[in-house]
Amino acid sequence: MKKLQILIAATLASAMVLTACGGKGGQTSETESPAASQETTTQATTATEPATTESSSGEEDTSDASAEESSADESGSDGEAEGSSREGFNTVSPEELQERLSKENSGSDSSELTMALPVSAQELKDMLSGAGDATVIIQADGSNNSLEIGDFISVPEGVTLLLEEGVSLSVAEGGTLNVEGSLEVQADVTNDGSIILMEEGFLQVDGSFTNTGLLSNGDLDKDTPDGETQNCQIVAASGITNTGGILNAGMIDGVVTNNEGTITLIGGTVKNIISNGGQIIEDGGKYGA
């Protein structure tokens, strides 16, 4: 009986040892397996993250490159548009642009300035001085058909003063009309004062031309060789009736009739003179065809 108890105790002890060993082995296996699994998961995650980052970085780089390329295209397009605009603008000079604006605003040719009589001396001076290269036109108003000069008036170089048909010109005693540009009168001219053409001056008279004052055709203050012809011209369609003084250093076309005054030929040519008691002084110039 005692031996049986000892055997049973030994068997139970052995079973307990086996059970304990088996449990430890299982526990060890269960403990090691999560660690290995965690390590494997960590390695897999670590291996995956760089690929994800690289892929993300690659997408950003591509996006940035695309944005830069798009920006460059837009910039190039703007540059071409701006260049075309500037090129088009530069083909227009400031003078041409101002003339276009003037014509658009006024609705008329900016090369002509028109004023109807009566015209004061100051109004005429202002128009002539500000005309540039324009033509200043004086028109009749029906009741007053004469432009009277009693002061000093100058027609600048490059300017044309045109008196339309029906408007006569009268230069009073003490008045002076200085012509550096052009003076065209489609009616009659009476000069009791002074009409002075400078070296490049031009005077055309379509009606009668009566001179009782001083008519000077040329820049007499200019130091030129005797007999030299200056670039000034008087065209008198009906000739000139002279009872005053004519000084000529340029060209006078027409017939000077009824000369009771003095004609001094400094240079150039007076084509025709009919003397009826006046005086002709040849001082380097000539007359006759």
Six token digits for residue 60: 């950003």
3-state secondary structure of 51: helix
pLDDT band at residue 163, thresholds of 50, 70 and 90?
A: very high
Place of tokens 């009309």: 177
The pLDDT-based confidence of 226 (bands split at 50, 70, 90) is low
Residue pair 244/259 in contact by the 8 Å Cβ criterion:
no
Give 178's strand partners. Answer: 154, 196
Q: Are 190 and 170 in contact (CB under 8 A)?
A: yes
Tell me: pLDDT of 116 over 60.
yes
**The model's pTM:** 0.62
Confidence of residue 111 (pLDDT cuts 50, 70, 90): confident
> Between vectors from CA 42 to CA 37 and to CA 48, what angle results, nearest 5°?
125
pLDDT digits (tens, 9 = 90+) for 34-76: 444 444 444 444 444 444 444 444 444 444 544 445 444 544 4
Q: Which sign, positive or negative, has the C-alpha torsion 65, 69, 75, 78?
A: negative
